Structure formats: structure tokens, C-alpha cells
Amino acid sequence: MAKELITSAHVAELAGVSQSAVSRVFTPGASASSAMAKKVRKAADELGYRPNILARSLITGKSKLIGVIVAYLENQFYPEALEKLSKSLQERGYHVLVLMAKLTDDNVDQLLDTLLDYQVEGIVMASVSMSSSLAARCDAAGVPVVLFNRMQDDDRLSAVTSDNINGGEKVAQFLIAGDHKRIAYIAGWDGASTQRDREQGFLQGLNKAGMPLYARDVGNFDFIKAQEAAHRLFDHPEKPDAVFVANDHMALAVMEYLRQKRRLRIPDDVSIVGYDDVHLASWPSFGLTTIRQPSNRMVVETVNMLIAQIKDDNTEPRKIFLESPLIVRKSARIPDDWPDTNNTFDSPVVEQ
Amino acid sequence: MAKELITSAHVAELAGVSQSAVSRVFTPGASASSAMAKKVRKAADELGYRPNILARSLITGKSKLIGVIVAYLENQFYPEALEKLSKSLQERGYHVLVLMAKLTDDNVDQLLDTLLDYQVEGIVMASVSMSSSLAARCDAAGVPVVLFNRMQDDDRLSAVTSDNINGGEKVAQFLIAGDHKRIAYIAGWDGASTQRDREQGFLQGLNKAGMPLYARDVGNFDFIKAQEAAHRLFDHPEKPDAVFVANDHMALAVMEYLRQKRRLRIPDDVSIVGYDDVHLASWPSFGLTTIRQPSNRMVVETVNMLIAQIKDDNTEPRKIFLESPLIVRKSARIPDDWPDTNNTFDSPVVEQ
DNA sequence: GTGAAAGCGCTAACAC
DNA sequence: GTGTTAGCGCTTTCAC
């Protein structure tokens, strides 16, 4: 139980060499004879020595730490992304300090300060936006920030999203082609760019076809609130015949509600379309038609951009919009003339 | 972009005081006059100074970092737990360094070394076991380890699980009371204590009633593998009339497979019981009967134990088994004389 | 209560 | 190559 720290000095003594020799052996870019290395490694193993990264970081100024602020692990999209992000960064020699925020929270300030206190070399904000004063602070500290799944008009910020406006528009086109007449929308939290962009694209698409939005309600990206929104939308004699829900997490909630509590058939009575393409969306019980956010590529771009900026101060922040295809399954009526979509019906279920 | 670090020396200069005075103002337990504090805080704010935690940690030996190794975020149980764990630790002044492992991975060694390199003050292993040599190393480093959802016979390790043996036995009793005659089991990864204990309890329960296990297959806690296991189990003329699946993640996969690909009705044709009680289990589409692992309490116990051991070296590691109730829903036939269970049917769906 | 000085464990100049 | 020396930014004695 006694916390007896073994330092490079101890190893040096045992190996009969200088302390700096030990350091060199354990420093990637340093030069040491193989004889030296052998001696030192032997002594180190014997004592169970490993370099203290905190001390190293203090000197080099490189903590090899990436701060990640994430809200909303309840939405399957984020655990998936977090797992990929963390693994990807690990592979590149970085490690992840994770802080949880609340979804509609403004006091991200504190969390961000904490990250900076730990001298993180970069920050990923997943499903969280930031004030421009925060952006300024990170910029001043020389710590690059990448927004993951949020877009924001600030030159100091990088951001990776799918093309949410285009995605929203595609949904409108699809529903209109499917001959729906009373098209409703359930919105996410309006503080999120994803919500605003998806809705904007959706309205744009309806507009181009001269189709009005039949009804709108708000689910704030919350499971229960989405069901409450559905409850209100369907409490009228003339019910919507299609609902675009701002993300899959809410769309699945709405499906559960409409099928189980309202006894509505999907898509016969009402079409539902979501956004994200989380794993659950492809389960046969749901077969949710949705827009796929390419989380793999989003993570790759995030990591690449972050590391590029860490490695070279002159790398400019960028915004990346990734294409996001419509995945046609069976929760929304499919237009007769719609191109064959069997190839996109990728169920994880075993084929017999 | 220039990373100009602001140090306590800069603040000291601006405030016209000594560097150590600045330190004292920012050190919780230190003594400084309020006049001093005011001057220093003003200068610090002006410069945007914040103490470098790495430097502080180097001296105090307290990094305020907790390492968490987690595999398997795909299983909803873990994101839920991770979120609670992280929030709970944040509230107590600790922060979480998260490393991802593979579920059936043996090279946890490397990950653990990395954590120790960062001078974490404690470690939580979620869904991962550890070799006794690793336990020894953590013990030697004075870093307490708590296994979350894994049990292991090592005096140096703390562990928190539900009472998996008892839980497995309850399932057996329930299925037998429900008059099932061909009871099968789909196992998780056998390297996991949860798998072994649940099966042991289950077999024990069957045994007490003189009921043989009709069939057994292995899903390794994997979604697809579980469906493949179900495929094999139901490829015989005499199909099982009940299946206990080692966790909800697999149980839901099995339900999807049996209903959608086999056209079996649940529970009319076959009863399914899972383990964990993840959020999804309560969705009306599934209504999965399962054993609830009290993740809230598991997290609380984990955090309390970890911090107790960090604060006081003499605190002995402990094993904690939490009671895990059977949650009766509708995926398994309910015995006629079974006590009323309406109260445990807690669906998140809005009531009208 | 405050400043001067020492040193946490390490890396990086600098001489030899 | 290798040892010596000087810090990284901070906390913590120790005098005053």
C-alpha cells in the first residue's frame, strides 16, 4: 500500500549510470548505445520503473492528452463515436480525458477550464457548442478545438458534421415523392446547429415543392419529450401522415409511442423518418428510414484535423461537411418510382 | 496561435508580490490575507492565469485523475454507467481518463501501464478483468483498483457487481414456475465472471427443481454471435420453449432474430429472459423480462470505495454484491400464481 | 502573513 | 555517447 515512487534516479543508481542516461533510454528521439540501453532497461525492469508522464509533460509541454466534452451518451450515436474517437486517438499516441456535460447546458466554461488546466493538447466537443469567449481562450492557449457534430461560425474553431441542410432537404423530397400531404416535424434542441440546419433544409425542400409544413413540435433531443411532442401532434382529428424527427433517438421514441400507445401502423398510417442512422435504426423491429451520418469518417476527419493542428500551429481551422445519404428502410412509405434501395437495407441480422 | 504559457511568476510580477504568494492564493488549504488574495486574483484574471495541474500534481503526488478502462460501449449498460461514473467523479473533484479495451482482450496490460504512467490515483475496470500480476503492480504503485461488473478472487482488488448467482437462480425459478419444459441458455464470454456466475446460478436453480438444461450455446456477449447461437438452437425440430440469455444486449438480438427471421411469437412460442435491465429492455416493442442490475447503486458504491481507498491507504479492498430484482415484463410467460408485478412494469412511454 | 529557497521527476542544453 | 547542470511550474518548508 505504500506509494513508493520509483524514479529514474533509482534506476540510474542500480544501473551505475547517470540519471540523464536513464532518461535518454526512455525518450523516443534520444541517442544511447545499445549497451547502455540494455543495462538501463534491465535495472528498470527489476525495479518496475516507468517514466512519470506528468513530469515529462511539464518539460516538453506535451501532455499527450486530448480533452473530450460530451453530453448525451443516451443517444446511441455518441457512445459509438466516443469509442471510435478514443481508439483512434490511442492509436496515434494520445489519450482521452472525458468530461460529461448536460445537453442544454451553458456552463461548459468550467469543464473547458478544467481541460485547459490539465494542459490538454487539443479538445473535441461532441454535441456541445461553445461561446466565442471560450473559443478565444482556447485560441490564446494555443489549444485547437474541433466541434464534432456541431457547426459554428468562428474562425478559430474547426468543425465536422454531416451536411445537415442537404440531409434535411433529402427527407423533404422523399416524403413528398411518397405522396404525403400532412407532413410534420419534431425538432431537437434549438441551441444545436444540427437541429437548426436539418429543419432549415427540410423546410427548404418542402418549400421548393410548394408543400407547407403541416405541424411542428419540439422534442429537444429527449426521449420522453419527443413522445410528448408526438402525443400533442396526434391529438387532433386530422393526424399527420408523415413525421420527420430531428434525430433517430427521438424518432425511435416516437415510433414506440405511435405503435404501442396509439396503435398506428408504420408506415401504413404514418411515415417516420429520422436522422443519424444509429445501429438500432437497422433492427428489423424498427427499420427506420433515416439519413446516415458517417460516424467513421467523421471521427477520422476529427482526429486528423486535430492532430494536424497540434503538430503545426499554422494549420488553419477548417469546417468539414460530409455527405449523408438517405437510407431507405421501411418506416416511411416508399415512392413507386424510387430507385431500388435493397442495397442500403443493411440489417445486422443473420441471413439464413 | 502562439502558446505563451502564463505562469504564477507572471502573475506575481504584475501583482507586485512573490511567486509563492500567488501559489498560496490558488492553493485550497493555504493561508493568505484577503488583501493579498484580492490583488493576486485581479492580476490573474487580467492575464487569464490558471494553475498548471500537471506541475501541481508533480509535487503533491495527487493528479486527481481516475483511470477507467472500458470495453463494449455497444452494450447500452456501459454508456449509462460511464456517464454516471464520470459525473459522479467530477462532482467529487476527480476526472476521468478513459481507455477503450477490446471485450475479450488480454492485453489490458498496456492500457494499465498507460494509466499508471499518468499517475492516476485510482482505476476502474468496467467489463474487464485483470491478471494477478497486474493487480500486484497496481498494489505496488499504491493505486486502488475497483472492478465494475466483474468479480475476481484477489485480495488486492475491490469489486462491485450485482448478485449474479442469485440472479441466475431467480431466472430458473421463474421459468420453471412458468411451466417451461425445454429451457435453453445462451452464454456470454466465459472469461467474464458475470457469465460464469449467471450460468452457475441458473443451473443451480434448474437443478433444485430437477429440470435439465435442454440446450446451450455461446454468444460471447456479441450481438451477431448471439443471433447465430439462436439460429443453431432453433434449427432443430424440437425447439426450446424458453431461453435465458446472459445479458440484455444479446437477449434483444435474439428477440429480433426469432421474431423477424423465424416468425416466432414471444412469449407465446418461446419465452426470453435477459440480464441487466438496460433502458431498451423496457421499450414496449421488447418488454424484456430481465434481472435488473442497479447501475446507479453500482456506480455509487464504486466511487465511494475508490475514494475511500485513495484517501486512506489502510482502507481494505472489498467485494460488494448488490441485490438484483427480477423485472417481469412480457417476453416470458408469467406463471398464473406469480405475485402481481404491475409495479415493476416501468415503461418510459407517456401515459395518456 | 509573506518572501526566499529548495525540490517534485523529468528533459535538454552544454561540455567532455 | 555520456555525465553535469539547469530548469519546466508549481508547492512547501523555513526564516522573518
Q: Provide the residue-wise pLDDT of chain B in tens; the chain has 352 residues.
A: 456 799 999 999 999 999 999 999 999 888 889 999 999 999 999 999 999 999 999 999 999 999 999 988 999 999 999 999 999 999 999 999 999 998 776 678 899 999 999 999 999 999 888 888 899 999 999 999 999 999 999 999 999 999 999 999 999 999 999 999 999 999 999 999 999 999 999 999 999 999 999 999 999 999 999 999 999 999 989 999 999 999 999 999 999 999 999 999 999 999 999 999 999 999 999 999 999 999 999 999 999 999 999 999 999 999 999 999 999 999 999 999 888 765 544 444 333 2
What pLDDT does B222 receive? 96
Domain membership of residue A2 (yes or no) is no
Do residues A88 and A299 touch, judged by C-beta distance below 8 A? Answer: yes
For A349, which of B227, B283, B349 is closest by C-beta distance?
B227
Residues A205 and A261 in one domain: yes
Domain residues for the domain of B147 are 63-162+295-322
Set of chain A residues whose Cβ sits within 8 Å of the Cβ of B155? none
Residues A282 and A263 in one domain: yes
The mean of the pLDDT values for chain A is 93
Query: Please, how many CA atoms are within 13 Å of residue A77, restricted to the half-sphere of its CB?
Result: 28
Answer yes or no: is pLDDT of A250 > 70. yes
Residue nearest to nucleotide C8 (CA to C1'): B59
Do residues A217 and A184 touch, judged by C-beta distance below 8 A? Answer: yes
What pLDDT does B340 receive? 74
Nearest by Cα to A67 from A8, A163, A3, A134: A134
User: CA B59 → C1' C7, Å?
Assistant: 9
Residues A227 and A275 in one domain: yes
Do residues B97 and A96 touch, judged by C-beta distance below 8 A? Answer: yes
Q: Which residue out of A349, A351, A352 would a mutagenesis test of the B interface target, given it has the greatest number of B Cβ atoms within 10 Å?
A: A349
Cβ pair B314:A1 closer than 8 A:
yes
Domain membership of residue B306 (yes or no) is yes
Domains: count for chain B: 3
Residues A307 and A338 in one domain: no
Residues B15 and B128 in one domain: no
Set of chain A residues whose Cβ sits within 8 Å of the Cβ of B92? none
The share of chain A scoring above pLDDT 70, in percent, equals 95
Nearest by Cα to B293 from B272, B278, B271: B278
Answer yes or no: is pLDDT of A347 > 80. no
Cβ pair A119:B53 closer than 8 A:
yes
Q: In the numeric block, which cell numbers belong to residue A206? A: 418542402
Answer yes or no: is pLDDT of A190 > 70. yes
Nearest nucleotide (C1') to the CA of residue B6? D9
Answer yes or no: is pLDDT of A268 > 70. yes
Residue of A nearest to B2 (CA): A142
What pLDDT does B106 receive? 64
Residue of A nearest to B93 (CA): A114
Residues B204 and B333 in one domain: yes
Q: Tell me the shortest Cα–Cα distance from A211 to chain B, in angstroms.
A: 31
What is the reported pTM?
0.94
Nearest nucleotide (C1') to the CA of residue A60? C11
Set of chain A residues whose Cβ sits within 8 Å of the Cβ of B139? 1
What pLDDT does B3 receive? 64
User: CA B111 → C1' C9, Å?
Assistant: 22
What pLDDT does B342 receive? 55
Torsion, CA B114, CA B120, CA B125, CA B131, rounded to 10: 60
CATH of the domain at B202: 3.40.50.2300
Residue A30: pLDDT band by 50, 70, 90 thresholds?
Answer: confident
Predicted confidence (pLDDT) per residue in A128-165, tens digit: 888 888 999 999 999 999 999 999 999 999 999 999 99
User: CA A186 → C1' D2, Å?
Assistant: 70
Q: Tell me the shortest Cα–Cα distance from A313 to chain B, in angstroms.
A: 6
Domain membership of residue A37 (yes or no) is yes
What pLDDT does A349 receive? 38
Predicted confidence (pLDDT) per residue in A300-311, tens digit: 999 999 999 999
Cβ pair A2:B142 closer than 8 A:
yes
- Is the CB of residue A2 inside 7 Å of nucleic acid strand C? no
Residues A13 and A83 in one domain: no
Q: Tell me the shortest Cα–Cα distance from B180 to chain A, in angstroms.
A: 26
Which strand D nucleotides have any atom less than 7 A from protein CB atoms? 1-13
Residue type, A156: R
Domain membership of residue A204 (yes or no) is yes
Residues B235 and B141 in one domain: no
Domain membership of residue B58 (yes or no) is no
Set of chain B residues whose Cβ sits within 8 Å of the Cβ of A313? 1-3
Domain membership of residue A94 (yes or no) is yes
Distance CA B15, CA B24 (A): 14
Residues B158 and B168 in one domain: no
Domain membership of residue A350 (yes or no) is no
What pLDDT does A3 receive? 63
- Is the CB of residue A334 inside 7 Å of nucleic acid strand D? no
Residues A194 and A339 in one domain: yes
Q: Are strands A122-126 and A65-70 parallel, antiparallel or unpaired?
A: parallel
Domain membership of residue A56 (yes or no) is no
Q: DSSP assignment of A221-233, as one string? A: T-HHHHHHHHHHH
Cβ pair B54:A51 closer than 8 A:
no
Answer yes or no: is pLDDT of A183 > 70. yes
- Is the CB of residue B58 inside 7 Å of nucleic acid strand C? yes
Do residues B289 and B272 touch, judged by C-beta distance below 8 A? Answer: yes
For B348, which of A223, A259, A280 is closest by C-beta distance?
A223
Residue nearest to nucleotide C9 (CA to C1'): A55
* Phi and psi torsions of B99, nearest 5°: -120, 140
Cβ pair B231:A350 closer than 8 A:
yes
- Is the CB of residue B61 inside 7 Å of nucleic acid strand D? no
User: CA A25 → C1' D10, Å?
Assistant: 27
Q: Strand A326-327: give its sheet, edge to edge.
A: A215-218, A183-187, A242-245, A271-276, A289-292, A326-327
Q: Which residue out of B112, B117, B266 would a mutagenesis test of the A interface target, given it has the greatest number of A Cβ atoms within 10 Å?
A: B117
Question: Which residues from 9-38 of A have any strand C atom under 7 Å from their CB?
Answer: 9, 19-20, 23-24, 26-27, 29-30
Residues A127 and A217 in one domain: no
Do residues B178 and B334 touch, judged by C-beta distance below 8 A? Answer: yes
Distance CA A82, CA A126 (A): 9
Q: Tell me the shortest Cα–Cα distance from A330 to chain B, in angstroms.
A: 14
Q: Tell me the shortest Cα–Cα distance from A114 to chain B, in angstroms.
A: 9
Residues A251 and A212 in one domain: yes
